[in-house]
Amino acid sequence: MNQDQLFEQIKKKRSFLCVGLDTDMKKIPGHLSGKADPVFIFNKEIIDATAPYTVACKPNLAFYESNGWEGWQSLEKTVNYVRTAYPDIFLIADAKRGDIGNTSQLYARAFFEKLGFDAVTTAPYMGEDSVKPFLTYPDKWIILLALTSNRGAADFQFIRDEKDGELLFEKVLRISQDWGTPENMMYVVGATQAEKLKEVRQIVPDHFLLVPGVGAQGGSLKEVARYGMNRRCGLLVNSSRGIIYASSGKDFASHAGSAARQIRDEMDQLLDDHGIGK
Amino acid sequence: MNQDQLFEQIKKKRSFLCVGLDTDMKKIPGHLSGKADPVFIFNKEIIDATAPYTVACKPNLAFYESNGWEGWQSLEKTVNYVRTAYPDIFLIADAKRGDIGNTSQLYARAFFEKLGFDAVTTAPYMGEDSVKPFLTYPDKWIILLALTSNRGAADFQFIRDEKDGELLFEKVLRISQDWGTPENMMYVVGATQAEKLKEVRQIVPDHFLLVPGVGAQGGSLKEVARYGMNRRCGLLVNSSRGIIYASSGKDFASHAGSAARQIRDEMDQLLDDHGIGK
């Protein structure tokens, strides 16, 4: 999916919501536990219920890998289901991968060829050649960690370079622009750092940002839109636990749908406020 | 496995070699391609041939994930085989994982509980809470990326902090010592940066270092030992392609064994030179 197509979806659905499929076998409703592949059944129902209100969907690999190869099978079934039933949904592998060049190539093969993801989250620590192999696929994306939503973000991401006064996350944003374009790169910027989005936008005005941390982690959607939205929206705001675990009963899917619709309604208003029409 | 046990193995086998199972379906000998799970068959033969000369074994996850869930199945079979046939081999998941705390917990569950690895490589960018969940398992390890062997290492790892003059990789080494101990943390330091091992050893004198980059990537084993070895060896030197693809014929395993034995013989001498006896 390219940027035009993503922006079209945002305008059409009046949403820039990404549903995080952090599906933990230990947290899904009890009535599913006897069935074959409960993780996939859970995901399928969540996707059906939330698809009208979301433009993106983001399984986090950790949750699948904790079930071993069966978990990867649930993941592949989930991806195939989305690709078939909702081809307009932007599919993100939240994998935070990155390795030396010839190895990152294999990760790209895994997520873009073997599975049909549109995007993979990647870690910047190993630099250019760890990221570049992902950028050779047309209409595929990397989403590079810049400023994360967790407490540990403070450990290294705010180190200031004595040479040019740049913070590490700013350097990641600036230098990585030589590796790709706003057509194949996005950045992760946590909602818990909403006020920092202003600085982020000065460095990357045109790139899409994937923003986790709204909801359970405490970030505010309004603040994120205020500082982070650009003329093509430029935001994918993720919510995981607040949607997928909205209820632990048999009605979990309809509650998830309601939670997603509620966020969509707020997003509709925010898009309006920023002059992004239907 | 704890540090004592690892050091015992090193003294017993006169080796600090780690065999990297970067098993690429597209590179394994042709005669295996018709069989069921050729990746596992290849790994099993490599392991049998190299086990006498190696103390550690390191599948890189990218290679398995490029085959989807079947790849994860090959990985699990490989891990189970090593655990059963060679319980004294230190098993490293080269996965370079790292996520917010509650998600890293799931990665820890994947690699330490679901699979039986001794150690996982982790990325430092997201800081303390992305790493700590791995450190709650007794006799399990993380191996944190510090100074990597690839060209892209130069992009961010050498940024100098204006506050204290520390380089980023030095800061990773120093700060992370508050997170764990030499009994549950190692560091990745590339052999292509051998001269830097001297500085690394000033910051982390007692930790084990996992050193990739000898062989195909150009690093020198002698230089690595010269600057990096400590009184308990403190090194695991990885070789992947130079061993596992030593021959592409039916005799690939015996060639891999010879390549490993040759490195072991050199290591035996280096251990002697550093006063580490049998």
pLDDT tens-digit readout, A81-135: 999 999 999 999 999 999 999 999 999 999 999 999 999 999 999 999 999 999 9
CB-based contact A156 B127, cutoff 8 Å: yes
Interchain contact B58–A (C-beta under 8 A): no
Instruction: Name the residue of chain A whose CA is nearest to B217's CA.
Output: A100
- Angle at CA B6, nearest 5°, toward B172 and B198? 40
Between chains, do B68 and A175 touch, taking CB under 8 Å as contact?
no
The answer to whether the CB atoms of B127 and A73 lie below 8 A apart is no
Mean pLDDT of B247-264: 97
Distance, in angstroms, between B272 CA and closest chain A CA?
Answer: 33
ipTM confidence score: 0.96
Residue A219 predicted with pLDDT over 80 = no
- Is B163 a residue of the active site? no
Q: What is the pLDDT of residues B189-236, one digit of tens each?
A: 998 878 899 999 999 999 999 999 887 667 789 999 999 999 999 999
Confidence at B98, pLDDT banded by 50, 70, 90: very high
Task: State whether residue A85 sits within 8 Å of chain B by CB.
Answer: no
Q: What is the CATH number of domain B3-273?
A: 3.20.20.70
- Identify all chain B residues contacting A145, using CB atoms and an 8 Å cutoff: 125-126
Confidence of residue B5 (pLDDT cuts 50, 70, 90): very high
Neighbours of B231 (CB within 10 A): 11
**Which residue has better confidence, B214 or B261?**
B261
CA distance linking residue B99 with residue A95, whole number of Å: 9
The Cα of B149 is separated from the nearest Cα of chain A by a number of Å equal to 8
Contact flag A150-B160 (C-beta cutoff 8 Å): no
Is the pLDDT assigned to residue A204 strictly greater than 80? yes
**Does B174 contact A at CB distance below 8 Å?**
no
Please report residues of A whose CB lies closer than 8 A to that of B116: none
Average pLDDT, chain A: 96
Q: Is A251 on the interface with B (CB under 8 A)?
A: no
Q: Is the pLDDT of residue B13 over 90?
A: yes
- Residue A264 has a pLDDT of 97
- A11-67 pLDDT tens trace: 999 999 999 999 999 999 999 988 999 999 999 999 999 999 999 999 999 999 999
Q: Is B148 on the interface with A (CB under 8 A)?
A: yes
Percent above pLDDT 90 for chain B: 93
Averaged pLDDT for residues A263-276 = 97
A172/B contact by beta carbon, under 8 A: yes
* Chain centroid offset of residue B7 CA: 15
Q: In whole angstroms, what is the distance from residue B51 CA to residue B116 CA? A: 18
